Structure 1
Amino acid sequence: MKAFLFTLLAAVLCVERAASFLCYTCNDEPSNWNCVKPTKCADTDKYCLTIYASGGIGDKKGQRITKKCSPVCPQTNLNLGVAAISTSCCEHSLCNISGASSVKTSYTVMAMGILASLIYVLRTGL
């Protein structure tokens, strides 16, 4: 009986769960706030794709964001002066939450800021 339970436990632990790949999606929205709808991607999709487009002059300037699931990751960074298009891709579920494709988190800068704040608080005795 123990051998059967051990075999059953080993089989359950070895079975890989089928997880759904999710991306935030929207189409031609003026703001990232409108792009927070999670969508289940097709089995062939491997990337969450964000396309950011801006264009215009002066008061007529605007921006548009499109987010979707994609089987490929097209690398596009085109700047024509009055118009620009850039794409960014990521490879895990719901990774395309941000509309800023070029903003990266620097853990070193964050850690230095926290450390400096902690030292300041300890020195001033707050």
Structure 2
Amino acid sequence: MKLFLLVVLGIALCTESASSLTCFSCKDATSNIHCLGTTKCSENEKYCLTSYSTTGTGSDRSQRITKKCSAFCPTIDLNIGIAGVATSCCETSLCNISGASSVKTSSTILTLGVLASLACILRMGF
């Protein structure tokens, strides 16, 4: 009897996971620890999507994490110095537990931007 129940439970679990995807979900969370809620994806949503964005530098830096089900997988990896966005996708249930590739604000890009702006201002002044 116990063996029969284990077999039925195993079949139910395998059937459930085969027919639908479950992803971790959150919207604009400040930390990955706040993204442990789950959601069952609709039939057309085949990916678990994680989007990680950051703005500012140093102690003024803030980050936001969004996780959800998605019908498509956008590949975004953008860093403009003081702001950045990165996404990652996966295709198995609860595969998006970790954050997307971390986006770091680049002090080199920020410094080059400031120097270019300063050069432009000095050139216009003379």
- Does TM, scored on the shorter chain, surpass 0.5? yes
Partner of residue 7, structure 1: none
Q: Does 1:57 align with 2:48?
A: no
Percent identity between the aligned chains? 53
TM-score, normalising length: structure 2: 0.65
Q: Distance in 1 between matches of 2:84 and 2:25?
A: 21
Aligned partner letter, 1:26:
C
Letter in 2 for 1:92: T
Secondary structure in structure 2 of the residue aligned to 1:33? helix
Q: Is contact 2:32–2:98 with CA below 8 Å preserved after alignment?
A: yes
List gaps (5 residues or longer) in structure 1.
Answer: 1-12, 103-126
Count the aligned residue pairs: 88
Deviation >4 Å, runs of 4+: none
Unaligned runs of 5+ residues in structure 2 are: 1-10, 103-126
Secondary structure in structure 2 of the residue aligned to 1:17? helix
- Report what 1:98 is aligned to: 98
Tell me which residue corresponds to 2:32: 32
1:17 aligns with 2:35: no
RMSD: 1.8
Residues 76 and 67 (structure 1), Cα distance of their counterparts in 2 relative to 1, 3 Å cut: same
2:70 maps to 70
1:17 Cα deviation after fit: 2.8
Bigger share in helix: 2
Are the counterparts in 2 of residues 50 and 101 from structure 1 also a CA contact under 8 Å? no
Displacement of 1:100 in angstroms is: 4.3
Letter of the structure 1 residue corresponding to residue 54 of structure 2: S
TM-score (norm. length: structure 1): 0.65
Residue 59 of structure 2 aligns to a residue whose secondary structure is helix
TM superposition shift of 1:78: 0.3
